[in-house]
């Protein structure tokens, strides 16, 4: 065995694996969307296993409150872009592979071009908008999507849109959830999540990618694995062998309306807008830049205030939660004058440092 394969010798020794399967991994191009709790373990094990080209798509920054489950990062990485940090760490971990950075937010405008260079998509996202975009893009392009999701103590794993031998396709995310009201599902920041669950589900996603690429094992296609971290029990729910959806176009979703920092500062100086902090009490106690404070899961209790005609700029640590909150508000009140602070507090303080 040559030196290039030495690091993979234990997996090559597996029955039914061999050098042929390792070669498939070397030639594979895998896109992981989301470098958070699920993305970190998924990326680490795919890099270690020798996936030839590993793409990372994420536009968020490292936050201290996420370090308990985002194990690729350290406190020193706070406020730096996750995709950039992850790329450097993974490339050092395995110099034999190519790690590609996509420091972007995945949208309906860029998703088809983004996934065109890859064989399989791994959904490690934490919001329903991107999840549906990736699912539908996978269907339209004929590419499989490895799905993972976590909340509190429970996780889910599945492989969507796998092509069957008779040229039909296995179910996709919309076969399980035709649509989801994202306003009814709290984020991990609000509802909480046990950190080890992210590692377990992320490793399962990496495992499904390896099985798919190497053509070994029984894929989680047409079924969903549900894992309970408290009881350490799992069950598999069968959905069916063939999709019943008819996806012909990408979803038309309400885009978040953002406001840049210089615009916000000008508006504050002219008293034409007000800030609204939607972070948790703990985050607010640590640092804030003023304005009213309503946690994101309590916004529905303040509709009269939110839709009273004044311009409000919602903010959080990175702009992700505030962006989702703005979309939620605009869906209920299209005329509401609400915006999301572009880049959140991370961008705000970086802007101040540059002044």
Catalytic residue positions, numbered: 188, 316
∠ CA 15-16-18, rounded to 5°: 90
Are 265 and 275 a contacting pair, CB within 8 Å?
no
Site of tokens 């669950």: 197
**Any bridge partners for residue 123, and if so which?**
33, 147
Q: How far apart are CA 219 and CA 77, in angstroms?
A: 36
DSSP character at residue 255: P
Tokens of 97: 């592979």
Q: How far apart are CA 268 and CA 312, in angstroms?
A: 10
Q: How far apart are CA 172 and CA 170, in angstroms?
A: 7
- DSSP H helical ranges for 50-169: 82-93, 111-115, 128-141
Coil, helix or strand for 328?
Answer: helix
Beta strands 154-160 and 223-228 are antiparallel
């Amino acid at each position: 065995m040559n030196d290039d394969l030495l690091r993979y010798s234990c997996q090559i020794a597996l029955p039914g694996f061999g050098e042929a399967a390792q070669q498939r991994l070397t030639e594979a191009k895998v896109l992981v969307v989301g470098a958070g709790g699920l993305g970190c373990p998924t990326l680490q094990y795919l890099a270690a296993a020798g996936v030839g080209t590993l793409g990372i798509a994420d536009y968020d920054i490292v936050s201290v409150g996420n370090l308990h489950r985002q194990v690729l990062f350290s406190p020193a990485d706070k406020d730096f872009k996750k995709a950039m940090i992850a790329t450097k760490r993974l490339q050092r971990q395995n110099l034999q592979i190519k790690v590609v950075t996509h420091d972007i937010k995945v949208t309906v405008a860029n998703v088809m071009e983004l996934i065109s260079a890859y064989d399989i998509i791994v959904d490690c996202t934490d919001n329903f908008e991107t999840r549906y975009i990736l699912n539908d893009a996978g269907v339209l392009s004929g590419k499989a999507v490895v799905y993972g999701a976590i909340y509190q103590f429970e996780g889910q794993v599945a492989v969507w849109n796998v092509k069957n031998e008779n040229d039909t396709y296995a179910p996709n995310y919309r076969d399980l959830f035709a649509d989801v009201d994202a306003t009814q599902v709290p984020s991990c920041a609000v509802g909480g999540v046990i950190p080890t669950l992210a590692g377990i589900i992320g490793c399962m996603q990496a495992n499904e990618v390896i099985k798919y690429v190497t053509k070994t094992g029984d894929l989680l296609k047409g079924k969903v694995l549900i894992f309970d971290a408290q009881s350490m029990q799992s069950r598999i729910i069968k959905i069916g062998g063939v999709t019943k959806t008819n996806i012909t176009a990408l979803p038309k979703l309400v885009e978040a309306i953002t406001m840049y920092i210089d615009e916000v500062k000008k508006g504050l100086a002219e008293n034409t807008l007000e800030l609204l902090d939607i972070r948790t009490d703990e985050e607010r106690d640590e640092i804030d830049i003023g304005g009213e404070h309503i946690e994101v899961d309590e916004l529905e209790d303040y509709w009269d205030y939110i839709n009273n005609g004044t311009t409000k700029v919602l903010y959080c640590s990175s702009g992700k939660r505030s962006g989702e909150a703005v979309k939620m508000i605009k869906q209920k009140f299209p005329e509401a004058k609400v915006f999301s602070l572009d880049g959140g507090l991370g961008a705000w303080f970086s802007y101040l440092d540059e002044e």
